[in-house]
Chains A and B, each alone.
Chain A
Amino acid sequence: MSTEPLLSVANIETFYGPIQAIRGISLDVPQGKIVTVLGANGAGKTTILKTISGVMDPERGQIRFDGHDIMRMSPDKVMRRGICHSPEGREVFPFLTVHENLVMGSYSRSDKAEIAQDLEMCYEYFPRLKERQHQRAGQMSGGEQQMLAISRALMGRPKLLLLDEPSLGLSPLLVSQIFDIVKRINRERGVAILLVEQNAHIALKTADYGYIIEVGRIVMEGLCAELMEKDDIKEFYLGQKQEGVRAGRRWKRKKLWR
């Protein structure tokens, strides 16, 4: 038998008032792996992360993390168990300095020496942040804020890092730099990562395993290397079109998910 995955989500359903955003999703994140969830706007990706980190409560289903049921736990308890969430749109504290923001990330910890050590680690991963450690976060560029958001989450010493669209609004070069570092963090620190992305290209290149969701349901899953070979993924997520008989084809074939 295989060992229990670090995070195991089973059959969760989450609502925004009467609107059902997640219609039964089950997914696993194994120890030390990067798992990505891809989907269009409104597919329910962010809601999955919010449900895991306890910001939202599911109507039903099960969430197990590290051998414990964490469903309906408040976000701070979830965080103390080792899940840190880097939210969509970064959400850094704009009037606090970079340093203060990072310290906020270690709010739940009291081991001063280790916090200092982790701070150094963040600065090592993102030297840019070290340069700007006394600058207010709100005055930094989008890319720097993203680095800060990831670092702030790392300061909680997570076993599992939830990354919500780190590529949002960043230049392609910056995106590939940040993803390189994300990969390094995963390899060097052994942190498992659940990555939500719109940028299918970079996500599939970075992650080990992927789930595709559409309107709150998983339509496809598989190893990223295999997903990249699927026709539907190529056409609808990677923007590669088969050349038809006629140049300038506009119509899209039906998604079959296989």
Chain B
Amino acid sequence: MEEEETVAMSLRERRWTGADGRQCVAYEDDGIGVSVPSMLLARARAEGGTTILRRKDRGIWKEVTWDQLAAQARHVGMGLKALGFTPGDVAAVLAETIPEWVYTDLGILGAGGISAGIYPTDAPAQVAYLLNNSGARVIFVENEEQLDKALEAKATCPALSRIVIFDMTGLRDLDDPMCESFAAFLARGEAHDRSLPGDWEAGIARISGEQTAILVYTSGTTGPPKGAMLSHRNILFHCVNGVRLADQRAGDERLAFLPMCHVAERIVGIYYALYAGTISNYVEGPETIAENLRELQPTIMTAVPRFWERFHSRIQIAVQEATWLQRQFYRWAIGAGLRVADARVAGKSPGALNRLLYGLASHFVLGSLRREIGLDRIRWAYVGAAPISPELIRWYLALGVTLLEVYGQTECGGIATAMPADNIRLGTVGVCIPYGEMKLSPEGEVLLRGEHVFQGYWNAPEKTADTIRDGWLHTGDVGEMRDGFLRVTDRMKDIIITSGGKNVTPSELENELKFSSFIADAVVIGDKRKYLSCLIMIDHENVEKWAQDQNVTFSNFASLARSPEVGKLIGRELERVNQKFARVEQIKQFRLIEQKLEPEDPELTPTMKLKRSFVHDKYRDLIETMYTDA
């Protein structure tokens, strides 16, 4: 209890009136120093033996205490220094979301370095590009598979001088002077630490808040990725204020599974958790997320829409395959839940009867559904990074899960707007965070200002100058504001001007299409064309289930996508969406992508979004058929 008070004592409040006329409030925490590693030192000193991470090892959740975390980070940092790594140098990490990623990240930061993440799904060429662009001197790789990418890249990366491997399984015979195991690397760090007592703390004390801490490569739906520089100040500002806004507490449990290279996991995930004292539980691997979620039952959660969609469709399928009686119970319970959820969204009281019915529904039916997904203890959940269907949010609210939409981008370090839990407006991404400012440009572009906004792009001053103009971050997103609630309509550069001169925001159409459970993603085409057309990627699982139920004959994914019945199904979905738009904005033709796309494919960003420009190129012939046939 005392500790909490000292933490609270160290808070300073700042209030000002933003350019948008809103009252802004931000807090500073003087108890954690000015950098991420100084926060680590302060927390470890205070919390010592308490658990901060958990990982599953041979089927058992094993705990990592603050002391252990700090020691690991220290040995990584001193290990880097022993290799001649100096402040301002870059080190890269190429691994799935595992505790070693965190140790390494904190070690790099503590050595005064800059930490750059690489997606484990990236191809060797991409890895080479990122290593060169960042100028990384050291790369930490997860295992044999990732090592091969680094080895392939090293010939073209002159700055790279060391490869450290976390998991040496199968690499006993590896004989490359540039490579070493994480264990050997840590041992050198430990020895170096013993020979230079106090050097680690002194080095951390020299880190300024303005120093760049991390490079986050934007997934880049267009062009090669750019490294967004976020400073220690950016990160701590987010942590101190974001944790307060979200009401994230010490002892909360979260599941760590999103890629560490993405700000959602890096800042809103692990850094928030370190600041708040939330325990991060690392999934065994990408395949066990659902299982680990169920056994952990976290109290808070942040995930991209794809995960929420997947949990939802799993329940839907289970319900369809349940007995008649179970289906009736489900229908009744979710109905009771929806009545309460709708009242909540409308800001009204659901009434005593509805509340009673919901209590029963929650106890007898919805509770077991929440347990089945792993959300029975959840206090709040965030969804962001891509649009999500309002219907889906309504379903989660009915289930009793406070699913709140947030909006932001790498360049603002994560969250820029969030949905208030007590004032939910479906179809919007909530209101601007109280500790930053937001306004719309005359063209409708979302502009952000504040200490959460990034420093600029790594080695690309002209791109930085293009993005931060007159002190405002130009997000490139177009939106509308009503009563302070933001609705994001599209990316600025994606706006289509048809040959008829009509401006169309494709994302609005695409999002409506994606809200269909049969459509995974869609790209609307029509710039300088007579009419709009669309490439659609079907949702494999749901369409397959549908086809099987309808006795539509198919074998693999391609034959499913080619089947005329599936074409008609998607046509009907498209027609339903078209109804919502004016005639010139309607989609006249569509084609299905016959290849099942995976995160490894260049067509997709790591967050599974179709890359517009890439799709335009790759499927040029297919696109042309939509304009020649007619």
Contacts and interface: CB of A to CB of B under 8 A. Distances in A.
Interface of A: 10-11, 13, 23-27, 60-62, 211, 217-221, 244-246, 248-251, 253-254, 256-258
A253 to B, nearest CB: 8
Given A244-B148, A246-B151, A10 B551 contact: yes
A251 B148 CA distance: 10
B332 interface: no
Contacts of A61: 551
Contact of A251 (B145, B556, B595, B601): B145
Which 8 pairs of residues, A with B, have the shortest CB-CB distance?
A: A251-B145, A218-B555, A24-B548, A250-B170, A26-B553, A245-B151, A10-B553, A245-B152
Contacts of B595: 258
A248 B173 contact: yes
A212 to B, nearest CB: 8
B596 interface: yes
Contact of A221 (B148, B152, B174, B556): B556
Contacts of B553: 10-11, 26
Contact of A250 (B144, B152, B544, B556): B144
B395 interface: no
Interface in B161-216: 170, 173-174
B438 to A, nearest CB: 40
A245 B145 CA distance: 11
Contacts of A253: 145
A24 B544 contact: yes
Chain B facing A: main interface SS: loop
Interface string B593-626: 0011010110000000000000000000000000
Contact of A257 (B143, B556, B600): B556
Given A24-B544, A254-B598, A257-B596, A62 B551 contact: yes
24 contacts: A10-B551, A10-B553, A11-B548, A11-B551, A24-B547, A24-B548, A60-B551, A61-B551, A217-B544, A219-B557, A220-B556, A221-B555, A221-B559, A244-B152, A245-B151, A245-B152, A246-B147, A246-B151, A248-B173, A249-B144, A249-B148, A251-B144, A251-B148, A256-B598
Contacts of A248: 170, 173
Contacts of B600: 254, 256
Given A211-B555, A218-B555, A257-B557, 17 more contacts: A11-B551, A11-B553, A13-B548, A24-B547, A61-B551, A217-B544, A219-B557, A244-B152, A245-B148, A246-B148, A248-B170, A248-B173, A249-B144, A251-B143, A251-B170, A254-B598, A256-B601
Contacts of B472: none
B547 to A, nearest CB: 8
Nearest to B154: A245
B552 interface: yes
B627 interface: no
Given A246-B151, A256-B598, A26 B554 contact: yes
Interface string B524-564: 00000000000000000000100110011111110100000
Nearest to B176: A246
Contacts of A220: 556
B197 to A, nearest CB: 39
Contacts of B145: 251, 253
Nearest to B174: A246
Interface in B227-253: none
A183 to B, nearest CB: 24
Contacts of A251: 143-145, 148, 170
Contacts of B557: 219, 257
A62 B173 CA distance: 54
A60 B553 CA distance: 12
B231 to A, nearest CB: 36
A220 B555 CA distance: 7
A217 B548 CA distance: 11
Interface of B: 143-145, 147-148, 151-152, 170, 173-174, 544, 547-548, 551-557, 559, 595-596, 598, 600-601
Contacts of B170: 248, 250-251
Contacts of B556: 218-221, 257
Nearest to B143: A251
Nearest to B147: A246
Contacts of A27: 555
A250 B168 CA distance: 12
Nearest to B555: A218
A211 B596 CA distance: 17
Contacts of A26: 553-555
B155 to A, nearest CB: 9
Nearest to B545: A24
A11 B555 CA distance: 9
Contacts of B601: 256
B102 to A, nearest CB: 23
A42 to B, nearest CB: 18
Contacts of A219: 556-557
B445 to A, nearest CB: 38
Contact of B552 (A11, A23, A245, A246): A11
A171 B89 CA distance: 60
A217 B483 CA distance: 51
Contacts of B554: 26
B484 to A, nearest CB: 45
B198 to A, nearest CB: 41
Contacts of A244: 148, 152
A122 to B, nearest CB: 34
Contacts of B174: 246
A256 B557 CA distance: 11
Nearest to A62: B551
A11 B551 CA distance: 6
A184 to B, nearest CB: 29
Contacts of A217: 544
Best-surrounded residue of A13, A217, A253 (most CB of chain B within 10 A): A217
Contacts of A221: 555-556, 559
B565 to A, nearest CB: 12
Nearest to A220: B556
A61 B151 CA distance: 50
Contacts of B548: 11, 13, 23-24
B396 to A, nearest CB: 28
B243 to A, nearest CB: 36
B404 to A, nearest CB: 33
A231 B63 CA distance: 41
Contacts of A249: 144, 148
B120 to A, nearest CB: 11
A244 B174 CA distance: 14
B239 to A, nearest CB: 35
A166 to B, nearest CB: 24
B603 to A, nearest CB: 12
A254 B597 CA distance: 12
Nearest to A8: B553
Nearest to B559: A221
B514 to A, nearest CB: 23
Most buried by A among B544, B553, B554: B553
Contacts of B148: 244-246, 249, 251
Contacts of B551: 10-11, 60-62
A219 B554 CA distance: 11
Contacts of A13: 548
A10 B595 CA distance: 22
Contacts of A62: 551
